[in-house]
Structure 1
Amino acid sequence: MREILPALDRWYAAGSPFGLATVVGVSRSTPRDPGAAMAVGPGDEAVGSVSGGCVEGAVFELAQEVVESGEARLETFGYSDEDAFTVGLTCGGEITLLVRRVTRDDDPTFGAVAESVSAGRPVTVATVVDGPAPRGATLAVWPDEVAGSLGSTGLDAAVTADARGELAQGATGQRHYGPDGERREDAVSVFLHSFAPPPRMLVFGAIDYADAVARIGDFLGYRVTVCDARPVFATPKRFPAGVEVVVDWPHRYLSGTATDSRTVICVLTHDPKFDVPLLAEALRRPAAYIGAMGSRGTHDDRMKRLVDEGFSESELSRLRSPVGLDLGARTPEEVAVSVAAEIVALRWGGSGAPLTATGGAIHPRRLDPPA
């Protein structure tokens, strides 16, 4: 939902009611994950997507009805090939949507949530999906405060504790409770939508390849930093607007920078005096991806040096080197696509093989899709 928040915030600030449809449950192969959203606002303006085009027409009408009635709706769409005019998913999966009206009266916390997401402040929005609690009621949970209510003090307390746990992991999904917050599977279903700050991409080596990797990293939603010890190369004018540029020794900068399980580290220096100390630091800390550019010979020399530094075979297996998938890339932009493809494949468990050579679900389910 992050990408449509500017439009939603504009409608909310203007006092214009809008219908918000959010994916709260999925099964089998589906094009969008929990948290994907579509909204219909004033003048029948629609933003966002919940299925990649399969059911958006039906959701558009649902959102209009919900804005008119004020009553939240829970709808499930599955595969249907019996009638060409039947609304359903063509991928064979199933999605469950919560469609609710949003106004200042319906959801007094929405403006604060939108402001937090825009500012990169972490927040989880808990919304009642089903059960003996007001459907569509919301509770906004920050690390240090709470706003709104799901209908009972006990439920609010239990959900607040779980929401902060989910927020720490950047996780999104449903939880189930008794009416007063008991840990039960047969009562109130609550959707916890975590908005963690964007993951970081740290690019080391301010070369032409770094410019292309930084651009595609920004496009993928990462907060990108480019670092190089050489001030003549590490200049903001050489990189896209919004990309942070730092002049520092790479290993020293990384040693003072927080990373987590979503952080991507791309080492493009391919110079031992820079990349060996840097990779030694990177391999000692959490990261989703550590990739290093260089030829096969450079890779072999680098691995030998890292073994001499005391790294085990298991520790070195985290290093993706030479960086990227085998696409036959030549230009910096093509290499950036190769690197991005490897990052995405590792993130979602993809093989990197052509889909024509694989079978099974195109979008296999995972438990912790990004916010």
Structure 2
Amino acid sequence: MLDIAEELHRWCERGRDFAVATVVATHGSAPRPPGAALAVDADGEAIGSVSGGCVEGAVYELCQEALVSGESVLSSFGYSDEDAFAVGLTCGGVIDILVTPVRPSGAGAEEGGPGGESGAGDSTAATLDAALAAAARGETAALARVVAGPPALIGRALLVRPDGTRTGTLGGHRVLDRTAAEEAAALLDAGRTGTVEIGADGSRCGEPVVLLVESSVPPPRMIVFGAIDFAAALARVGKFLGYHVTVCDARPVFATAGRFPAADEVVVDWPHRYLDAQELDSRTVLCVLTHDAKFDVPLLERALRLPVAYVGAMGSRRTHEDRLDRLRAVGVGERELDRLRSPIGLDLGARTPEETALSIGAEIVASRRGGSGVPLTGAHTPIHHEPRSGPERLGSVA
């Protein structure tokens, strides 16, 4: 749901009633990941997507029904080989979808301090509004919603912030709220969206409870070193992929905002010095396009020792071999060198800056998603891969 937070938050500000359908879980091949959402307002306007078109019509109708009934509902859609026109996923997978009506003018949510408790009132609408507002502002927070368990709890929501404060309640069950907050905080710390099962003892509801936890985190960072024409094209690709893009170069005549309009920021500094001053995480990608040993070597010496998702460097194969020798000479080990993607990008036969940027972006996607980079035609590899754990995965902004 947080993937369409900005528009939904505007709907809330205008007092527009709507129902939102969110992908809770996928089984087999499915076009959209957990957290993807489709929303329908009282006038029939729709935004978002849960399936890329396969079951959108049926989900649209479920949203309209939820607006009338005021009840949350969990539904599954799968492939039907008996009727080609039946509602289902033609890709062969199954998706579970939670549909929740939201009336922004409803009861307000109560706040709790760090480790504090929330009120037991029906605060779902206000909690969802608070989550949408936080996501729209780019704040870090996790939204936990009940997707399986006692019927009275389905759709209940709890918003958890990094400082431990909570908004809303999962039905007034203090132990359940506390346990859910702990589980949500763990997923938030990893920047992940996923489902969590809380056993009957942990929920104190008499039966297990399954939560969908959606993490709202700032966009991952792409730092492009080297203010060249390839960097301008890569900045555009990075923005398209959802990164916060920084271009860094030590030469002020080249590192200007006018030359890199797609970048979020352009920094004039020595690359290795700039890198030393940054707080990076496991979703960060570093693209070294400086193509100059005096910049490359001190930069890569540091970059290859950081727990980032991707480190790539531009250059010919001869430049690459020379770069490896220089890095070994300053003490970079073979295990660290194995992390270096160089020459940077996939083999697309790229020539122009735009084509090269596309090849780099494709390699970044393959790296973070576990893809092989080979053509899907005739291949027996899965189309959708499970996200990698550790430094190589980007994390979810569903």
TM-score by length of 2: 0.90
1:232 is aligned to 2:253: yes
**Aligned to 2:30, what secondary structure does the other structure show?**
coil
Partner of 2:94: 94
1:204-215 equivalence runs, <5 A? 204-215=225-236
Partner of 2:12: 12
Q: Which moved more, 1:175-184 or 1:25-34?
A: 175-184
Distance 1:86 1:306 in 2: 59
1:143 is aligned to 2:162: yes
Partner of 2:28: 28
Asked if structure 1 preserves the Cα contact closer than 8 Å seen for 2:40 and 2:60, the reply is yes
Asked if structure 2 preserves the Cα contact closer than 8 Å seen for 1:157 and 1:181, the reply is no
1:361 is aligned to 2:360: no
Distance 1:361 1:57 in 2: 27
Which amino acid in 2 is paired with 1:370?
S
1:192 to 1:355, Cα distance in 2 relative to 1, 3 A: same
Distance 2:157 2:291 in 1: 50
Partner of 1:315: 336
Q: Which moved more, 1:264-273 or 1:237-246?
A: 237-246
1:269 to 1:242, Cα distance in 2 relative to 1, 3 A: closer
Deviation track 1:246-268 (CA, whole Å, cap 9, x = no partner) reads 00000000001011111000000
Distance 2:201 2:159 in 1: 18
Q: After TM superposition, give the deviation of residue 317 of structure 1 in Å.
A: 0.5
Structure 2: tracts of 5 or more residues without a match:
107-123, 390-394
Deviation track 1:132-158 (CA, whole Å, cap 9, x = no partner) reads 251111000001111000020000000
Asked if structure 2 preserves the Cα contact closer than 8 Å seen for 1:177 and 1:183, the reply is no
1:21-100 equivalence runs, <5 A? 21-100=21-100
1:302 is aligned to 2:302: no
Q: After TM superposition, give the deviation of residue 365 of structure 1 in Å.
A: 3.2
Partner of 1:200: 221
Structure 1: tracts of 5 or more residues without a match:
none
Q: After TM superposition, give the deviation of residue 273 of structure 1 in Å.
A: 0.4
1:211 to 1:289, Cα distance in 2 relative to 1, 3 A: same
Partner of 1:103: 103
Q: List structure 1 runs of 4+ shifted beyond 6 angstroms.
A: none
Asked if structure 1 preserves the Cα contact closer than 8 Å seen for 2:368 and 2:388, the reply is no
Which amino acid in 2 is paired with 1:149?
T
1:122 is aligned to 2:148: no
Partner of 1:281: 302
Deviation track 1:17-41 (CA, whole Å, cap 9, x = no partner) reads 1110001111111111111111111
Distance 2:16 2:354 in 1: 42
Deviation track 1:233-253 (CA, whole Å, cap 9, x = no partner) reads 111111125521000000000
Partner of 2:373: 352
Cα-Cα RMSD: 1.7
Q: Of the candidates 158, 174, 177, which is equivalent to residue 179 of structure 2?
A: 158
Asked if structure 1 preserves the Cα contact closer than 8 Å seen for 2:143 and 2:214, the reply is yes
Distance 1:29 1:97 in 2: 15
1:326 is aligned to 2:347: yes
Q: After TM superposition, give the deviation of residue 84 of structure 1 in Å.
A: 2.1
Asked if structure 2 preserves the Cα contact closer than 8 Å seen for 1:268 and 1:293, the reply is yes
1:180 to 1:69, Cα distance in 2 relative to 1, 3 A: farther
Asked if structure 2 preserves the Cα contact closer than 8 Å seen for 1:177 and 1:185, the reply is no
Which amino acid in 2 is paired with 1:305?
R
Distance 1:76 1:63 in 2: 14
Asked if structure 2 preserves the Cα contact closer than 8 Å seen for 1:155 and 1:179, the reply is no
Q: After TM superposition, give the deviation of residue 120 of structure 1 in Å.
A: 2.1
Identity level (%): 57
**Aligned to 1:346, what secondary structure does the other structure show?**
helix
Distance 2:287 2:10 in 1: 37
Q: After TM superposition, give the deviation of residue 111 of structure 1 in Å.
A: 3.0
Which amino acid in 1 is paired with 2:226?
G
Asked if structure 1 preserves the Cα contact closer than 8 Å seen for 2:221 and 2:283, the reply is yes
Q: After TM superposition, give the deviation of residue 366 of structure 1 in Å.
A: 3.6
Q: After TM superposition, give the deviation of residue 7 of structure 1 in Å.
A: 1.7
Deviation track 1:247-296 (CA, whole Å, cap 9, x = no partner) reads 00000000010111110000000100001100011011111000000111
Asked if structure 1 preserves the Cα contact closer than 8 Å seen for 2:203 and 2:209, the reply is no
Q: How many residues align?
A: 371
Q: After TM superposition, give the deviation of residue 69 of structure 1 in Å.
A: 0.5
1:193-272 equivalence runs, <5 A? 193-241=214-262, 243-272=264-293
